[in-house]
Each structure stands twice: as structure tokens, then as C-alpha cells.
Structure 1
């Protein structure tokens, strides 16, 4: 349990730092493109970023470093998902919201409101409750039909999400964050039920639909998260991601994989879980209007339109 918690916290630190670095790269790329080609450069007719704009953001050094940290976080998160109940591992990993919020003050010059700080404090308290209440993780086995369902749902979420966010344009940051969270949540479930890991069997691994759900959820979730960082609040988008990657995997773990709380502490685990989700929603809500300190000074035109 302790090793699993340490691993999840390390994954959270990697993800939180990576998100802010990706936001720095995305916004710098957007400013440079807007300055070179005019304010409408790199956006669709609905106000959202086009694929070219997103691709340019992805090759900035900040974004690349953030992506490397994300990959390290993915590896650590995968280990945590196999050592802890999903409702605990995913929620601890989702605490990267706290790291994102703190680093965004320094690197993005964002002013956090009192309600945001209060929501972050409540999230930390909820994580403590979950850690106290969590029991041993359940099993890793699921019927093959579940593996196929996971792949199908993951593909649907990413494809439909990309289309919806494109249509919503600049107002779709929170939706993009939520859908990216669902993609990462599917990744967590896939890692938990993946065949061919213990004992290692390459054939079983490569023929398991859960492996491809992991790839689609990870890559698609990263794309949607990048879009969310381009067009909206970094804290709001990350908080929405927290909700997406926490609720569904936690429910799947409890309902189908045998995850449970310590004897007599089920109520505490449920309370901590709900409290974590509500506090993340609070950060997403109050963070929609966040402003950079740099906006107080004359600056080159920006592509991003914060929701």
C-alpha cells in the first residue's frame, strides 16, 4: 500500500509539472503564430485551434519536456493502478491539480481566487480520507468482452470529443479537459485489466484490446488536453480532467474489479471520493475566468481565448 501511494504521488508530480510546461509551450506558440499571421491565425471558424496550431504547440521545448514528464507519470501511474484500488490511485494521481495550480502562479503568472484555494485545500483533505479508508485492491481479471467494450468506448470518446470540441471552439476548454480525463481514465482501467503482464506473455499482451484502449486513451487524451490548454484556463481544464479520470475508473474498480474500502470505512471512502470530485469541479468553475499577470502589461496579440 505504501509503495503504491508513493508511486501515485510521484506520478501526480510528473503530471502536474508536465501540464504547466505544456500550457507554457502552447500559449507561447499561440502568441508567436498570432503575432506573425494575425489574431485569427491557427483557429477554426468556430474559434478553436486547428490541427496545425496544435502541432506547432507540440514542438516547443516546454511542451516536449512536459510530454516527457507525462510519459514518466504514465509509467508510474500504471504501476500505481496495479497496486492500489482504482478509486485511490486515480484520485491521488489527480492531485496533480494542486501542483498545476501552484506552478501556474510562477510560470504562467495566474492569480488564484480564494474559492480556488479553498477547493484545493478540500481536495487535499479528501485525498487524506481516501488514503485512510482504502483497502486492498481487487483483481486484475475481466471478461474479454469488457476489454472490447473498453476499446470501443475509448475510441468513441476521443473521436466524438475531438469533433465536439472543434464545434464548440473557444468555449470548449472545460469539455476538452473532461473528455481528456475520460481518455486517461480508460487508460487506467486498461492498465489494471491488461493481459500478459503477470506472468509476461507477449502474444496475450499484443492481442489484448485493452492494450489498444490504453494507446488510444493516452494519445487521444493528450491531444484533447493540449487543445484545452490552448483555449482555456489551465487550472479549469486540469480540474475537469481530474473529474473525468477519477469518477469512471473508480466506479469500474468498485463495481467490476473488486476494489473496496477497509472494513467499516466504506462510508469514509465514499465521502472522500465525492469530496474530491466536488472540489475539483469547484476549481474548474472558479478557474474559468483566471487571468495572467502578464495581461496587465501591453503584450502581443494572443491566439488563446480564455473561457
Structure 2
């Protein structure tokens, strides 16, 4: 249990630091793109960021460094998902929101409001409850039909979400964050049920649909998170991501994979889980307008051609 907890915390630090570095790169790219366009934002006619703008954000040095940290966080998170119940591992990893918020003060010049600090404090308390209440992890195997359903749902989420957020403009930040979180949540479930890991069998691994759900969820989630960072509040986008990557894997783990709490502490695990999700929503709600409040220029829609 201790190794799993330490691994999940390390993954959280990597993800939180990576998110802020990616936000720095994404916003610098957006400013440079707007300057080259004579002051107009690099957005599509529907108000969302253009694919070219998102691609340019992804090649800034800050974004690349953040992506490297995300990769390290992914490897650590995958290990944590095998060692801990999903409702615990995913929630601890999602606490990267705290790291994101603290570093955004330093690197993005943001000033957190009192309710944001309060929500972050509640989230930390909820994580302690979950750590105390969590029992051993459940099964690592699921029926092959579950693997195929996971792949189909992940592809639908990422493809449909990509089309949706490009039409929503600045309002896409929370939606894109939530969809990216669902993609990362699918990744967590896929890692948990992946065949060919213990014992290692390359043929079984490559034949497992869950492997491709992991790839689609991870890459698609990263793209949607980049969009969210381009068009809105870094803390709001990350908080929405927290909800997506925590709730669904947690429910799947309990209902289908046998994750459970310690005897007599089921109520504490349930309360801590709900409290963690609610506090993340609180950060998203109270931090939704921070881009306008703290000197980050919002993306403006351009008139249709």
C-alpha cells in the first residue's frame, strides 16, 4: 500500500507541474499567433483554437518539458493503478490540482481567491479520508467484451469531444477539461485491466483492445487538455479534468473490478470520494473567470468569413 501511495503522489506532482508548464507554452504560443495575425486571436470561425495554433503550442519548450513530466506521471500512475484501488489511485493523482494551483501563482502570475484556497484545502482533507479508508485493490482482469466497450467509448469521447470544443470558443475550457479527464480516466481503467502484463506476454498485450483505448485516451486527453489551457483558466480546466478522471474510474473499480474500502470504513471512503469531487468542482466554479481577473487575455471570437 505504501509503495502505491508514494507512486500516486509522485505521479500527481509530475502531472501538476506538467500542466502549468504546458499552460505557459500554450499561452505564449497563442500570444505569438495573435501578434502575427495583427492582434486577432488564433481561433476558428466558431471561436475555438485552430489546429495549427494547438500544434504550435505543442512545440514550445515549456510544453515539451511539461509533456515529458506527463509521460513520467503516466508511468507512475499506471503503476499506482495496479497497486491501489482505482478510487484511491485516481483521486490522489487528481490532486495534481493542488500543485497546479500553487505553481500557477508563481509561473502564471495568478492570484487565487479565498474560495479556491478553501476548495483546495477540502480536497486535501478528502484525500486523507480516502487513504485511511481504502482497502486492497480488486481484480486486474475483465471480460474481453469490456475491453472492446472501453475502446469504443474512448474513441467516441475523444472524436466527438474534439469536434465539440472547437465550436465552443472560450466556453470550451471546462468542457474540454472534463472530456480530457474522461480520456485519462479511460486510460486508468485500461491500465488496470490490460492483458499480457503479469506475466508479460507481448502477443496478448498487442491483441488487447484496452491497449488501444489507453493510447486513444492518453493522446486524445492530452490534445483536449491543451485546448482547455489555450482558451481558459488553467485551474478551472484542471479541476474539470479531475472530475472526469476520478469519478468514472472510481465507479468502474467499485462496481466491476472489486475495489473496496476497509471493513467498517465504506462510509468514510464514500464521503471522502464525494467530497474530493465536490471540492474539485468548487475550484472549477470559483476559478472559471480567473483568466479575465488576472491579466490573461481571453480568446475572442472572430466573425465568420
TM-score by length of 2: 0.96
Q: How does 1:144-223 map to 2 (within 5 A)?
A: 144-223=144-223
Q: Is the 8 A contact 1:26 1:63 kept in 2?
A: yes
Q: Secondary structure at the match of 1:9?
A: helix
Q: Deviations over 1:37-69 (max 9, x none)?
A: 123342111211010000000000000000000
Q: CA RMSD in A?
A: 1.4
Going from structure 1 to structure 2, the CA distance change for 1:130 and 1:228 (only over 3 Å counts) comes to same
Post-superposition, which runs of at least 4 consecutive aligned residues in structure 1 deviate over 4 A? none
Aligned to 1:100: 100
Q: Deviations over 1:259-297 (max 9, x none)?
A: 00000000000000000000000000011111478739x
Q: Is the 8 A contact 1:46 1:170 kept in 2?
A: no
Q: How does 1:28-177 map to 2 (within 5 A)?
A: 28-177=28-177
Instruction: Give, in whole Å, the separation in 2 of the partners of 1:184 and 1:294.
Output: 29
Q: Is the 8 A contact 1:42 1:303 kept in 2?
A: no
Instruction: Give, in whole Å, the separation in 1 of the partners of 2:300 and 2:248.
Output: 30
Q: CA deviation at 1:184?
A: 0.1
Instruction: Give, in whole Å, the separation in 1 of the partners of 2:53 and 2:92.
Output: 32
Q: Secondary structure at the match of 1:116?
A: helix
Instruction: Give, in whole Å, the separation in 2 of the partners of 1:39 and 1:253.
Output: 48
Q: Secondary structure at the match of 2:140?
A: coil
Instruction: Give, in whole Å, the separation in 1 of the partners of 2:231 and 2:300.
Output: 5
Q: Is the 8 A contact 1:174 1:284 kept in 2?
A: yes
Q: Secondary structure at the match of 1:137?
A: coil
Instruction: Give, in whole Å, the separation in 1 of the partners of 2:82 and 2:76.
Output: 10
Instruction: Give, in whole Å, the separation in 1 of the partners of 2:126 and 2:39.
Output: 42
Instruction: Give, in whole Å, the separation in 2 of the partners of 1:214 and 1:72.
Output: 15
Q: CA deviation at 1:169?
A: 1.6
Q: Is the 8 A contact 1:40 1:303 kept in 2?
A: no
Instruction: Give, in whole Å, the separation in 1 of the partners of 2:60 and 2:293.
Output: 22
Q: Secondary structure at the match of 2:73?
A: helix
Instruction: Give, in whole Å, the separation in 1 of the partners of 2:38 and 2:59.
Output: 21
Instruction: Give, in whole Å, the separation in 1 of the partners of 2:178 and 2:200.
Output: 33
Aligned to 1:228: 228
Instruction: Give, in whole Å, the separation in 1 of the partners of 2:244 and 2:291.
Output: 24
Q: How does 1:230-245 map to 2 (within 5 A)?
A: 230-245=230-245
Instruction: Give, in whole Å, the separation in 1 of the partners of 2:22 and 2:292.
Output: 16
Q: How many residues align?
A: 301
Which sections of structure 1, spanning at least 5 residues, go unmatched?
A: 297-301
TM-score by length of 1: 0.96
